[in-house]
Every structure is written in structure tokens, then in C-alpha cells.
Amino acid sequence: MLDGPGLKPVKASEAYLRLHERLDVLSRAGSSLGLERVYQLLGALGHPERAVPMVHVAGSNGKGSTSAFLATILAKSGRRVGLFTSPHLIRLKERIQFLTDSEGPQPLTDEAFVRAAQLLEQVAPGFSTATFFEVMTLLALISFRQANVDIAVIEAGLGARLDATRLVEAQVAVLTDLSLEHTEILGNTIEDIAREEGAVVRVGCPLIMADGPSVAMKVVDELAKAAGASVSRLGRDFDLVAYPDGLFDFHLRDRSLEGVNLSLVGEHQGRNAALALNAALTIDPHISDNVLRAGVESTSWPGRMECIRQSGYPWVLLDGAHNPHASRIFARALSMDSFSGPKYFVFGVLKDKNVAEMVEALAPRATSFYLTRPSSARARAPQEIAQLLQDVAGFTGRIDVSSSPLISLVRALKQAQAEGGGVVVCGSLYLVGYIRAQLVGENGQPMLHAVLGAAQ
């Protein structure tokens, strides 16, 4: 798989720009799973993965949102929290963030990023043979040690068994929803996926997990039993109730929270929040109800069911919805009253995804599709998606094809302006990140007027 630092920053120090270029070159070499390279470098670095308590979050869907929920809860409890996630939406430094009670997520500074890279360079000249993702994982662990955080939440990249993050010494493990994702690497059955993702289990380490197909649960239960790890499962040991008005009740290990208004929209986010709440109580059973509630009601996680609204312009909804499971969940969420009217999809996806099942789930919600190419070497040609929309999903609405995401966005916005409704951007976080950068200024304010004005 290819992953990379993305667009070159416009404003940055010379040292950071050089580092960004090096990482870009490294990312083009591709990657390979395995733990030996990272294991050796962690030893040479003095084991930063042991420097602070850590939580490891794996799974097919929702692990980023779950990590964000958990990090925010822990920050609201008075802790300084490190958060490592991937991929980033817009800026590379988003992958390594810090949270406190008084501040929301703050990305690593240019200076701290460069310092961490210099330390890694001392033990791995030219970063040795490490892959891009391995380097990013190492830089995160170095940065969390340097910042002396109280705890770090680490999101796995691909699977858990051979992922670079597997070497962190987690106090608590979290396993989110499982689905057939990255089958060419992780295996073709849900049991294979469960075995790879279930490797988040560690000896004696409590596991907080989502429910799922019985065959997958059996695999994870066997892994946990072999490791002597306790298991707390959604739907069995803790649960939630979702209401039509968007509120949730959470029934946790020793208490209930009622009428919770999550900051992240969608019933699926209730599942992610439930995992995070239970993980937080496993870390610290004394966290108050007020802190738990404040955490999940204030979590920021851009690009996931994020609605951008500006007076006088159509709404724009952003969500990765990057595989069939996520697409089905997203399609259900689109029935909410907040997103009424025609929906004009700006859609792009990567080659390794089951696009046929994705468009089957999304097509019934769409008035038009504006198909485009995410900013990734792995992007699928939009012409291929157009064929699948017609042949597999039986879509008879308007289909527009462009290699430029910005052109697709402008065309969708113009149709929404003329006919009502809103624009839905989904299929890939690479696409969502690019579009969000066009629509939201650095001050966080919507810029739909600028996007449409520039297109005149």
C-alpha cells in the first residue's frame, strides 16, 4: 500500500519542508508489513513505546473516531494526552496531536517534528529501511516521550498483527467494528480479518470490543483466552440506546449516561462512543459522569459526518465512507432530517476497495454522482465507477466524470444551488481531506463563497 505526507505545506520552516520532502520520497517506495525493523529501532531509541501508558485501537471501521472520543475523554479528566492516527486529512502533522482539558487537538509543531526526526536519524541514518508509516509511528512515540504526556492513544494502521503500532505496550486494547477490508493483505474471510485485527489483544491486557458476526467473535475470544485477557463486549457487557432525535443513552460497566448529545453525528458514532466510554472507565474507574459526558459531547473529528454550512449556500456533508460496511452505515445516516432534499454526490475511491458494493449502498440516496479521482496513486479511474453505477447499482440519474475533485465539487454545488438539497462528499479520506481544505479556511470558517466565486 502507498501512504504519504500529501501536499507540500505552503508556510513552514525550511527544516520542516526538507523533512516533508524526504518523507514524500520515502512514501513512494511503498510499504511492507513486519515488526523486525521497528523493533530494532525502538530498542536503539531507548524504547519510547514504554515511556508512557498507552491504549491501542484497532479495527476495520470507526477506530479513528473511537480514538478521538477516548483521547478527548481522557483530556477532560485532566490528563495531557497524545493521539496518533492515520491517515491525515489535510496536513501531515494532524497524525500526531496533543489534547488537554483547556485545549482541543493541537498538532505537533514544525520544530517538535524536526527534533523527533533528528533523534530518529541518529539511530537510523536516512531512516534506514523503515517504511513511511513505520517512520511516522516512531516519530509519534518519540514525540509523546519528549512531551511527557500522561497517556497516549494509538490508532493501528493496517490490521494489528504485523502493524508497526503493535509494538506499543498498551494498558488497554480496543477493537472496533470488523468488516471485509484490505482483503488482499488481511485475508478474504471475516475470520481472517478477526485474526489480524484481533492481534490487538495482549497478555493480561483488558480488551474492549464491538460486537459482530459470531464467527469473528469466536476468533477474538480464543485470542483473548490464550493471552489471559479479559473481554468487555458491546451488546453483552455494555450497551447503548439510540433515539430518533439523535440522543443516546449509554449503559456502561457500572453506570448509565442518559440523553447524551454526541458531537459526532450518526448512530454508528454511538457505537464508537460506547467503546471509548468503556475504555476510559477501564483506564480510570473514577472518571466522573460529567467528564465522560463532556468528552463525547465535545470531540472534534473533522471529515467524519461533518456538515459544512454557510448562509445562502447548499450544505456540504463530508465522510470517508471508504468501504462497503461504512458506506451502508453512511447511507442510513443520510436519512436524517438534517440532510433532507436532493443529494449530489462527489465520489472517489481507491483501487483496493469493493466499489460495486459501495455504490450499491449509496446509489439509492443520490440524485446525481460527480465522480472524480482522489489525490492518491491508488485512485480508481472515475470512468470505471461510472460503469459500475449503471451496471451494478442500476443508477439512472446524472453521472458526471472529472479527474479534478475541485471541478466535481463546483459542478455539484451549482446543481444544488439551482435545484435545492446539498452536496455529499465521500468514498475516500484522501478525497474528503482535499475537499475540506477548499471549503474550510485556516480559521475554521466556511469558504463556499470563495470556491464558487473562483469558478465564475
Question: For 97-120, how does the pLDDT look when each residue is reduced to its tens digit (9 = 90+)?
Answer: 999 999 889 999 999 999 999 999
Structural domain boundaries in the chain? 14-298, 306-454
Lowest pLDDT segment from 161-165, 210-214, 335-339, 432-436: 335-339
pLDDT level of residue 7 (50, 70, 90 thresholds): low
The secondary structure of residue 337, as a DSSP letter, is G
pLDDT at res. 32: 77
pLDDT in tens, 14-43: 999 999 999 988 888 777 778 999 999 999
Average pLDDT estimate for 357-384 = 94
- Residue ranges of alpha helices (H) inside 13-95 are 14-27, 36-44, 63-76
Q: How many CA atoms lie within 13 A of 405 on its CB side?
A: 24
pLDDT at res. 233: 98
Provide the residue type at 39 as one letter.
Answer: Y
pLDDT in tens, 256-297: 999 999 999 888 899 999 999 999 999 999 999 999 999 999
CA dist 312 and 165 (Å) reads 45
Q: Is the pLDDT of residue 183 over 70?
A: no
Lowest pLDDT segment from 194-198, 248-252, 305-309, 338-342: 338-342
pLDDT in tens, 399-425: 999 999 999 999 999 999 999 999 999
CA dist 262 and 37 (Å) reads 40
Q: Which residues contact 26 (CB under 8 A, 6 or more apart)?
A: 127, 131, 132, 135
- Residue ranges of alpha helices (H) inside 240-303 are 267-283, 289-298
Cell of 300: 472534534
Cell of 372: 472524480
Sheet holding 343-347, edge to edge: 306-308, 316-318, 422-426, 343-347, 368-371, 398-401
Domain 14-298: give its CATH architecture.
Answer: 3-Layer(aba) Sandwich (3.40)
Q: Is the pLDDT of residue 338 over 80?
A: no
Tell which wins on pLDDT, 241 or 28. 241
Average pLDDT estimate for 217-234 = 97
pLDDT at res. 266: 85
Burial classification of residue 337, based on how many CB atoms lie within 10 Å of its CB (0-12 exposed, 13-18 middle, 19 or more buried): exposed
pLDDT at res. 2: 43
pLDDT at res. 456: 62
Overall CATH class of domain 306-454:
alpha beta
Overall pTM surpassing 0.85 (yes/no): yes
pLDDT at res. 1: 37
Write down the mean pLDDT value for the chain: 92
- Residue 138 · residue 21 · CB < 8 Å: no
Average pLDDT estimate for 367-374 = 96
CA dist 140 and 87 (Å) reads 13
Percentage of residues in the chain having pLDDT higher than 70: 97
pLDDT in tens, 378-403: 899 999 999 999 999 999 999 999 99
**Under DSSP, is residue 24 helix (H, G, I), strand (E, B) or coil?**
helix
